[in-house]
């Protein structure tokens, strides 16, 4: 059986961390916490549950996770965020994998809780995430908005684990709106850095397409009121990002706003 290290990066996660660590029972051979100088009880909670805690000023999600990987005793690593937790079915699937790894990396489905409701459609599920891997065979690549795991071998084999990784995300619509503002700004800056612009036609149709695609084709209507809100806010996020790309692009190239 392989030994498994679980790595978690944290900053003021006292409301989430204990749930995350408890969900790792029986599958984690060690738990590594890389904290960015939390001011709440995050570190105390981690130490109470036997985790190894290291302090590191935040360098970006990708670099922070790479640093956490470097601290692991074992080559096989499960990377989690503090607001995530494993279901019993996923734990059983990971135990099976530890006994006989069949793939180079593993994905798992992520099920998100939004304002108290589990979202099973709306483009948010199954939301496969690559989180279980051999740390010596790749690294996290940093992007302005979302980091991703890149395997050394381009021909690697990827498996899918049974069970869900539970994601306790937004507790209010206000939290969601704040994140849209932040991420649309980062996404727009990255697009303009790559010399991308947005036409007025795309500015008009992109939000409309996002709503129709996620609400009807990806069955957002089955998630009720919050499904409707998620799809509307997805459209709003697309509008924000396109608007900011157009604005920043014209600023960069001294183009008069039309």
CA 80 to chain centre: 9
Mean pLDDT of 221-238: 98
Cis peptide before 126 (omega within 30 of 0): yes
Mean pLDDT (the chain) is 96
Confidence of residue 154 (pLDDT cuts 50, 70, 90): confident
135 CB-near residues (< 8 Å, 6+ apart): 69, 70, 72, 75, 76, 77
DSSP strand E in the chain: where?
4-10, 30-35, 52-55, 76-81, 84-86, 105-114, 117-119, 129-134, 138-141, 148-151, 158-168
Confidence of residue 143 (pLDDT cuts 50, 70, 90): confident
Q: Model confidence over 115-126: pLDDT tens digits?
A: 999 999 999 999
Confidence of residue 145 (pLDDT cuts 50, 70, 90): confident
Q: Model confidence over 157-212: pLDDT tens digits?
A: 999 999 999 999 999 999 999 999 999 999 999 999 999 999 999 999 999 999 99
Q: Judge whether residue 256 has pLDDT over 80.
A: no
Mean pLDDT of 48-71: 96
Q: What is the DSSP letter of 137?
A: G
Q: Model confidence over 3-13: pLDDT tens digits?
A: 999 999 999 99
Q: Is CATH 3.40.109.10 correct for 4-168? A: no
Domain borders along the chain are 4-168, 173-252
């Amino acid at each position: 059986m392989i030994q498994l290290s679980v790595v978690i990066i944290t900053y003021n996660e006292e409301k989430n961390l204990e749930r995350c660590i408890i969900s790792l029972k029986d599958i984690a051979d060690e738990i590594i916490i890389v904290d960015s100088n939390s001011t709440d009880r995050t570190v105390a909670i981690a130490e109470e549950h036997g985790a190894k805690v290291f302090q590191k000023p935040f360098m970006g999600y990708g670099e922070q996770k790479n640093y956490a990987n470097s601290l692991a005793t074992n080559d096989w690593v499960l990377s989690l965020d503090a607001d995530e937790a494993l279901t019993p079915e996923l734990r059983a699937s990971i135990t099976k994998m530890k006994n006989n790894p069949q793939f180079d990396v593993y994905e798992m489905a992520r099920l998100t809780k939004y304002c108290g409701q589990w979202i099973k459609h709306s483009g948010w599920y199954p939301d496969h995430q690559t989180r279980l891997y051999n740390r010596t065979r790749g690294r996290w690549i940093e992007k302005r908005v979302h980091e991703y795991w890149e395997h050394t071998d381009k021909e690697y084999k990827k498996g899918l684990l049974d069970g869900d990784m539970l994601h306790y995300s937004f507790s209010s619509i206000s939290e969601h709106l704040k994140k849209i503002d932040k991420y649309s700004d980062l996404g727009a800056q990255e697009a303009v850095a790559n010399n991308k612009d947005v036409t007025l036609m795309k500015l008009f149709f992109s939000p409309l397409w996002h709503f129709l695609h996620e609400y009807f084709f990806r069955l957002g209507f089955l998630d009720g009121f919050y499904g409707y809100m998620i799809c509307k806010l997805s459209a709003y996020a697309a509008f924000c990002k396109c608007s900011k790309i157009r604005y920043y692009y014209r600023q960069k190239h001294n183009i008069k706003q039309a």
